[in-house]
Structure 1
Amino acid sequence: MIRITKYWIGVASLDHVRSGVAGGFSQLCHGKEAPLKRMKPGDWLGYYSPKQALNTDEKCQRFTAIGRVKGSEIYPFAMSETFVPYRKDIDFFPDAKQVPLHAISQLEAWQKYRSSLRYGHFEIDKDFFLVLAKRMGLPMKYES
């Protein structure tokens, strides 16, 4: 059975995205397992960061990272005795350029997704992903 590649957006503050990129993992929706289960090996994930840091109001409003799901394993990671979020390994493109939301917000392709940002994780179509990937500087071809 051939599996179709899916394309996703995760929403997280820039400080959290940077931690994930540095560690090669995704942690979505405050550490919930369910969004990670939806992503399969070979899928693509782009991150949008509305804020600079979780506990501030300082805006970021940029697409800040992009990468490919490496494996199917979802694992708990104890950040403290009381907070054990779930993670999934991602192969991030380390030289991705940040793309301001206003640079793509006028695109028709984005209009159907803008209200989805509040969900923290959602699927996008390949065409919009390719626009985003190109603007973020990904040098590779994308195959389903």
Structure 2
Amino acid sequence: MSRNWVAVASAEHVRLGRGQGFMQVCHGKAAPLKRIQPGDRVVYYSPATEFRGNDRLQSFTAIGVVRDGLAYQADIGGGFSPFRRSVDWHTAEEAPIKPLVGRLQFTTTRSNWGFQLRFGLFEISAHDMAMIAAAMDASAPSSAGTSRSYGPIREELRDESRPAG
């Protein structure tokens, strides 16, 4: 059974990984990546645009599915060899978290829900992943080579936001 994960990194680092088909968490540590399995879904949350930046981007910046294979080590020079996992990234727009706070299960269970973002990787429910995908207007390649959209989820969210009556 597939699991759903939120990974945390600056948007600049997420864009690099998205462009090259990989994910990396916790400054390249291997242990967190061992929790993730092929077929698991991952979404990146970026607190800032740049690493150690102080802007408040606070947005989901990439969403995808982990490919087959294990974590691998990449030699990027300067003595830094982070561990990575290969990911098929979906087509998606960046989406701010603030409109979803209180609607995502991981933000309603505790008053200090943002604390878990400090761990760099944590599991979320399928409900939360679907809401985030809808907010990002995400679509994934299907086996036929076309895009599969999360349209029904977006419509459900739109219906929820309409006044009753």
Fold match by TM threshold 0.5 = yes
Please name the residue that 2:64 is paired with: 67
> Are positions 1:118 and 2:118 aligned together?
yes
Deviation at 1:141, TM superposition (A): 7.3
1:78-117 matches, cutoff 5 A = 78-93=75-90, 95-107=91-103, 109=105, 110-112=107-109, 113-117=113-117
Deviation at 1:30, TM superposition (A): 0.2
Runs of 4 or more consecutive aligned structure 1 residues displaced over 4 Å after TM superposition: none
Looking at structure 1, the residues matched to 39 and 92 of structure 2 have their Cα atoms a distance apart, in angstroms, of 18
Structure 2 portions without partners, runs of 5+: 140-147, 151-165
Alignment deviations for residues 70-117 of structure 1 (CA, whole Å, 9 cap, x no partner): 113211111223211001100001x31111011111325232353311
Please name the residue that 1:50 is paired with: 47
> Are positions 1:26 and 2:23 aligned together?
yes
8 Å CA contact 2:104, 2:128 repeated in 1: no
Q: Secondary structure at the match of 1:60?
A: coil
Q: 1:102 to 1:34 in 2, by over 3 A?
A: same
8 Å CA contact 2:59, 2:97 repeated in 1: yes
Looking at structure 1, the residues matched to 3 and 69 of structure 2 have their Cα atoms a distance apart, in angstroms, of 14
Superposition RMSD in Å: 1.6
Q: Secondary structure at the match of 1:72?
A: coil
Structure (1 or 2) with the larger CA radius of gyration:
2
Which one has a larger percent strand, Structure 1 or Structure 2? 1
Please name the residue that 1:8 is paired with: 5
Which residue identity is paired with 1:134?
Answer: A
The count of residues paired between Structure 1 and Structure 2 equals: 138
